[in-house]
Amino acid sequence: MQVLADAGVNYVFGISGDSVLALIDAIDRTPGIEYMPVRHEQVVLAHMGPGVCNLVIGLASAYRDSYPVIALTGAREQSKIGRDTWQEIDQLALLRPITKWGARIFSADSAPRIMRSAITRALSGRPGPVHVELPKDVARAESNVEAGEPLKFREIQDASRVAPNPMLVERACDLLLSAKRPVILAGGGVLRSGASEALLQLAELLVIPVATSSNGRSSISENHPLSLGPIGRYGTPFADKQVKQADVILGLGCRFSDLTTRDWSLIAPGTKIIHVDIDPGELGRQYQEEISIAGDVGLFLRAAMGEVKRMEGARRAPSYPEADPRVASLVKEREAERSAFFDPSAHASIPGKPQLLVKEIIEVLRPDATIALGSGLYAARYAAKIRVTTPRSYLKSLGLGAMGWAFPAAMGAKVGEPSRQVVALLGDGDFMMVMQDLETAVRENIAVAIVIFNDYGYGSIRELQKTEYGGRVVGSDCTPLRFDELARQMGALGFRTSKVEEVKPALSKILDSDKPGVLEISIDPRLT
Ligand SMILES: Cc1ncc(C[n+]2csc(CCOP(=O)(O)OP(=O)(O)O)c2C)c(N)n1
Ligand SMILES: [Mg+2]
């Protein structure tokens, strides 16, 4: 615990059990680190066996989206391990495919070394979750081994930033400078590398428009004239078109996934791809690439800027990118698509007008508000249209697409940055997976706003059953629940509306209250 506290870890979220009592006790006795009980084990400290089983969704989400997480789990006493004792499963094996690394602390003396290793592995290179298991007898043993020098997150990250091969950077710059319609595709790696500023600088220097994967959203302000917005499943036809027409694509910290490329149909054959990623395993994995570069995205961007300036190839004095005719026309097209989406008259036939509900939500939020999106239809099709402008302000379980992720993610974001507004936008089905954690939010006063698009069921699934299964809607309707009443009963604020004009005042009340609150937006289930 001392290693974690020294490294700056303030909170350990968890659910207890006999196997982790010594850990919880140690947290309680260690200054600077606090135990925060939650009501679902998606994170981070979990009892052995059933507790570890509940960890799977949280860890798999973190693994697929490259978030650093340390999972601490209990285990039976060492003398009992492997005998199928009560609640015992092979936890290290269970979590292995969804973690970067896992280890058992086998003696009290080895604890600091293994914890230091866990922190380093979670944060370095391509970040991800790690798992440390602590047998009950080891957890209660005494040791005189010191925690060691405090680890600094920043130093760990910097130590593993691999610089790209300069020869490849030069070739990449040559290709970018000779391109006619280049596009940058920014993925989550830009954010993990902290390279938003550098991305903007290179894009502006070369006047290259920037599209993002969904995981890369917030790496560039979507208000910037060079921003095309997200592409693929959760993107827009406008952004997709620019990527289709590109002759050179510079992929930064992205995986060219099925979601991003619409099953690899977006990038036209013959398009030249330059791909930069910290994980060499991603290079050339989905496409035949013109130039593959292993390395940190931020270091690549800085090296490329130096190279371009040396080549004196900057196309323009650094004026404003809108002066470029291509950019001016892109901005016009982008804004036209957006206004059409939110235009009330264009959707007169949709009684609930979910677009307009979302527009109201956007107008209440501060520009740097963090939004966490659920995985249902209303979140994906409508709420995803919120324009994201601040780095790390957009959270969604993308690689795994898990329901039940957005609300706890929003709580984590609020605990991490209490001064920022945090709002979870999700469906009723999504919320029901973890609604018991409202108790956590109230108890710990984690002031998140939870906006539930209540269409009384699994709208996205219902839609598929209507279109692909002859309209036979089976198992996708939920009994109507009053989430506003539930919230109030649990001690949170609770509002409910089905009127567009009531969204703003209700959400403002929650956001201004500094308390957790639920706004249930009732939507006619016949819409899906
Ligand atoms: C843990 C998990 N189980 C099942 C699914 C499959 N699934 C995707 S969306 C969805 C329904 C979502 O319902 P809701 O949150 O109410 O959103 P809506 O589509 O109604 O807007 C389901 C069951 C999933 N993504 N994650
Ligand atoms: Mg629903």
pLDDT tens, residue by residue, 161-201: 999 999 999 999 999 999 999 999 999 999 999 999 999 99
pLDDT score, position 354: 80
> How distant, in Å, are the alpha carbons of 85, 113, 198 from that of 109?
26, 8, 43
What is the 495 CA–ligand 2 centroid distance (Å)? 17
CATH fold of 342-527 reads Rossmann fold (3.40.50)
Pocket test for ligand 1, best of 233, 433, 460 (most atoms within 8 A of CB): 460
Which strands form 101-104's sheet, in the order they lie side by side? 34-37, 11-14, 45-46, 69-75, 129-135, 101-104
DSSP lists the bridge partners of residue 519 as: 451, 495
Of 311, 131, 318, which Cα lies nearest the Cα of 207? 318
Beta strands in 480-526 (DSSP E): 493-497, 517-522
- Is CATH 3.10.270.10 what the domain over 2-159 is classified as, yes or no? no
- pLDDT by position in tens, the chain (length 528): 999 999 999 999 999 999 999 999 999 999 999 999 999 888 789 999 999 999 999 999 999 999 999 999 999 999 999 999 999 999 999 999 999 999 999 999 999 999 999 999 999 999 999 999 999 999 999 999 998 999 999 999 999 999 999 999 999 999 999 999 999 999 999 999 999 999 999 999 999 999 999 999 999 999 999 999 999 999 999 999 999 999 999 999 999 999 999 999 999 999 999 999 999 999 999 999 999 999 999 999 999 999 999 887 555 544 556 678 889 999 999 999 988 888 877 665 555 678 888 889 999 999 999 999 999 988 888 888 889 999 999 999 999 999 999 999 999 999 999 999 999 999 999 999 999 999 999 999 999 999 999 999 999 999 999 999 999 999 999 999 999 999 999 999 999 999 889 999 999 999 999 999 999 999 988 877
Q: How many CB atoms lie within 10 A of CB 34?
A: 15
Three-state SS for 231? Answer: coil
Q: Whose CA is nearest to atom 23 of ligand 1?
A: 458
pLDDT score, position 3: 93
- The Cα 250–Cα 25 span in angstroms is 50
What is the 320 CA–ligand 1 centroid distance (Å)? 43
The domains of the chain are located at 2-159, 166-334, 342-527
Residue 427 near ligand 1, beta carbon < 6 Å: yes
pLDDT score, position 424: 97
- At what angle are helices 297-310 and 196-206 packed, to 10 degrees? 30
Q: Which long-range contacts (CB under 8 A, 24 or more apart) does 141-147 make?
A: 141/107, 141/108, 142/108, 143/107, 143/108, 143/109, 143/111, 145/108, 145/109, 145/111, 145/112, 146/112, 147/2, 147/3, 147/6, 147/112
What is the 401 CA–ligand 1 centroid distance (Å)? 9
Cβ contact 73:99 at 8 Å: no
Q: What is the DSSP letter of 212?
A: E
- Return the ligand number nearest the Cα of 57: 1
- The Cα 49–Cα 20 span in angstroms is 12
0.85 exceeded by pTM = yes
CA 200 to the chain's CA centroid: 21
With b for 16 or more beta-carbon neighbours within 10 A and e for fewer, the 285-316 pattern comes to ebbebebbbbbbbbbbbbbbbebbeeeeeeee
- Return the ligand number nearest the Cα of 433: 1
The residues, ordered by sequence, that sit 6+ positions from 325 with a Cβ below 8 Å of its Cβ are none
> For domain 166-334, which architecture applies?
3-Layer(aba) Sandwich (3.40)
| Helix segments in 371-498, DSSP class H | 377, 406-416, 428-432, 438-443, 459-468, 483-489
Cβ contact 421:365 at 8 Å: yes
Residue 453 near ligand 1, beta carbon < 6 Å: yes
pLDDT score, position 127: 96
